[in-house]
Amino acid sequence: MSANLTRPNPVHYLAYCYGKILPARYRDWVRHDLAGDGARTRNLVRVMIPAALVVAPLWLIPATLGMHLAMSLLLLLPCVYFAHALDKIWRAHRLRQHGLDPDLVHEAERERDADRNREYRLRYGHDQDGHDQNGGDQDGGDQD
């Protein structure tokens, strides 16, 4: 992370992690947090902390290790699954809440795949809209 980003204090940070909108002076930090390197991991950790707090009391129930693991995994695995499945949707929503472009969620993938996409367009002569460089459709013919 860049040294010139203004970080929220611990109270603001904790509130932000669970839904509060930060003031505009933190906008660059929010952008990095939700769209920068490690954003997926940070989001997964933020989801798993409350889930672990819900599961923790189950370990106080007298049971075998296997039963404790079964009870815990029964709750935690769906949590991980849905956190991963809804990650981009949640981060796009949070970006929108803070007045940022929700497409920033895809910024890292666009940067990562830029060379491959450029090479594809050069090799096959297609632009991003599926048209060849001469302006025709990619299926090659007019349909009546």
- SS3 call for 61: coil
Q: Which residue has the higher pLDDT, 140 or 79?
A: 79
Q: Is the pLDDT of residue 109 over 60?
A: yes
- Calpha distance 58→96 (Å, rounded): 37
Closest residue by Cα to residue 9 from 34, 21, 26, 32: 26
Return the structure tokens found at 24: 């505009």
Percent of the chain with pLDDT over 90: 64
pLDDT given for residue 67 in this prediction? 96
Give the angle subtended at the CA of 25 by the CAs of 24 and 27, to the nearest 5°.
65
- Calpha distance 77→66 (Å, rounded): 16
Residues 71-86 have pLDDT tens digits of: 999 999 999 999 999 9
Return the structure tokens found at 115: 């060379």
| 3-state DSSP percent of the chain in helix, strand and coil, to 5 | 65, 5, 30
pLDDT given for residue 144 in this prediction? 47
Q: Which residue has the higher pLDDT, 126 or 68?
A: 68
Q: Which residue has the higher pLDDT, 111 or 7?
A: 7
What is the rounded average pLDDT for all residues in the chain?
A: 86
pTM of the model: 0.71
Neighbours of 23 (CB within 10 A): 11
- SS3 call for 132: strand
Are 16 and 22 in contact, with CB atoms under 8 Å apart? yes
